[in-house]
Copies of this chain bind each other. A is one copy, B any other.
Amino acid sequence: MNALVSGPCFPFEFLHAEIIRYEKQREIKANDLEVERTDKRKNWIEQMRSNPQMEVSLLDEQLKSVKQLFIQGNAETRLEALGYRIGFVLVEKIAKDLPRLITELERMKFLCKEFWTAVFGRQVDNLRTNHQGIYVVQDNKFFILTSFPEGKQYVEESAIYLAFPCGIIRGALYNLGITSLVTSSVENVPAVKFHVHMQQKS
């Protein structure tokens, strides 16, 4: 077992439960969409029959693209959303025995210490803020990238691997009362900077 796990032990149970929920919802949504499209198609056919020279663009408006309806964002967005829901749940488990966190800074410190250790296996190496709503959280050995070769070679490839943890951070902060946008930047694998942009004062 341990030979397969190089980093810390990520809580599989929460991820698995979320994947199940996700696939179930996808199934329900596909069924709904199918019904909706069948109805629209009937409409469309009737309109075409009554007016065969009708502008196709008018019909297209009725029938939004499959992509718009069904995909909802690209791979990165969906990985971020998966992480968001897991972060939201995890923070409750981790914060439940702690005193209430009042200030923004207290919450950010909790994120960097207790939460980071529990979920990502270590404390962060640095936390900075410009005092204008942006925090930069730096982890010099971010667990997801520790299996990558070190250095600048795989910086680009690493981006998609950070969508999920960005979501985890955003979800955790949201459940702590902080609405934020979280992005990441990598200059040297496995060091990552997470940029937390506050959306409103909590």
B70 touches A30 (CB 8 A): yes
Can you tell how many copies of this chain the complex includes?
2
Within 8 A of B (CB), among A24-67: 24, 26-27, 30-31, 33-34, 37, 42, 45, 48-49, 52-53, 56, 59, 65-67
B37 touches A48 (CB 8 A): no
Out of B1, B23, B74, B118, name the residue touching A118 (CB < 8 Å).
B1
The A contact surface, by secondary structure, is helix
Q: Which residues of B contact A78 (CB under 8 A)?
A: 23, 26
- Bits for A145-177, please: 1 = Cβ < 8 Å to B, else 0: 001000000000000110010000000000000
Out of B16, B31, B70, B75, name the residue touching A161 (CB < 8 Å).
B16
A133 in contact (CB, < 8 A): no
Q: Tell me the complex Cα distance, A144–B14, Å.
A: 11
B160 touches A30 (CB 8 A): no
B15 touches A7 (CB 8 A): no
B37 touches A45 (CB 8 A): no
B117 touches A16 (CB 8 A): no
Q: A27-B74, A49-B52 are in contact. List 4 more A-B contacts (CB 8 A).
A: A12-B15, A16-B161, A23-B78, A30-B71
Which residues of A are in contact with B by a Cβ distance under 8 Å? Answer: 1-16, 19-20, 23-24, 26-27, 30-31, 33-34, 37, 42, 45, 48-49, 52-53, 56, 59, 65-67, 70-71, 74-75, 78-79, 82, 90, 93-94, 117-119, 121, 144, 147, 160-161, 164
